[in-house]
Chains A and B, each alone.
Chain A
Amino acid sequence: MGFKEIRHTADRALLVWGKDIETLFKEAGLGMYSLLALHSEPSPMVTRVFSASGADFESLLVMFLSELLFYLEQEDLVFTTFDLQFHTGELKATMRGSTVNRSVKMIKAVTFHNLDITKLHHGFQVEIVFDV
């Protein structure tokens, strides 16, 4: 499981892989945070709960990452632990994290560009392009 940044001329892109869908989503979140080079500050842990329904896992992935961006912009929150439960097109996420120093980089949005979660022999993989 993991992620790495891949080449994009103007925006940012990640290749993410995980042994199952839950891990893939968590790694995508952590990978997105890594693009923003965030540094956490000592602060109390907080919990946020998020639920969504989508047409497929790709839609849910965009919703999930967009939710993380929203909390970063609005509350300076970065999550480090995720409890993700999938059930017939629905995602329920319980996320724990703390505040960070203000990010010096920005991701405007998570895109659907060539977004295709593929099943591999040992798990799942996806490429994600972020508008920055």
Chain B
Amino acid sequence: MPGRDATACDICAHLGTASFAVVASLLLRPDRLNNEVIAAAVRDLMRHQHTDGWWPVYSALERPSIETTAAAVHALVLLKADGYQRVVRRASHWLKSQQKDGHWSDEGHPDSVYLSALVADALALAANESELTFSASAVATKNAPRESKTRRRFDVALSFPGELRRDVATLARELAKSLGKSQVFYDDYYKAELARPNLDLYLQSIYLEHSELVVVIVAAKYDEKEWCGIEWRAIREMIKKREGPRIMFLRADDASVSGMFSVDGYIDMRGRTPQELASLIRERLALPELT
């Protein structure tokens, strides 16, 4: 077992090794897990995922690694770590975006056939499919009962007044690029689903129960608009239930909105591109309070 050069400093974690150790533990001795080691590895993985969904080889590096990302997906899915679904979904989306001509290749890493088989298994694990190149059944039975407490359908739900639809459509597109369209609740993406009676209640349940983060785009008379008003009631209910970490305000102007106060933090949309706004939203999603 000769050496692969360690090029990074001692203080940063080798995220590949963290994932490899978790997977090896689960496959070799699921009855005798070293919980301390596994907890440390999972903490490192959760902390160092880039907002775009990838992991670097070393925590201090800013360069994505396909191999490390695929291995991290193996570790988190097999372990069923708390909040793993959303983290893995982002990773899975990023991995798909890295495919070129039907395969994956990474500079200075294993050959593309090995890497592609590894990524294909990671995608299958993320999609909860059973067809893999190795048997994960022993692991699955040991860890089956642990379900995440934060399993929600959407990563982000956007609430906005109609006047801003053009800007919000661009923002939604940017978010869909990195999170996947199915993870972004933007009403235009769900026209068929929303064509139903009692839409007010249905929308409120999407914001209250089925979205990790509700991004409220505040502009003049937001609270007075018919549909925004309905959504705003659901959002205020979240504030009442102390679910503030699930709310993110974006302001399009300085208008006052009843129920929103000067102590509420927000992002000023003015002068920021949709790409910048999408990046800030992804950054917020990556915070541990939401994982």
| Same complex origin of A and B | no
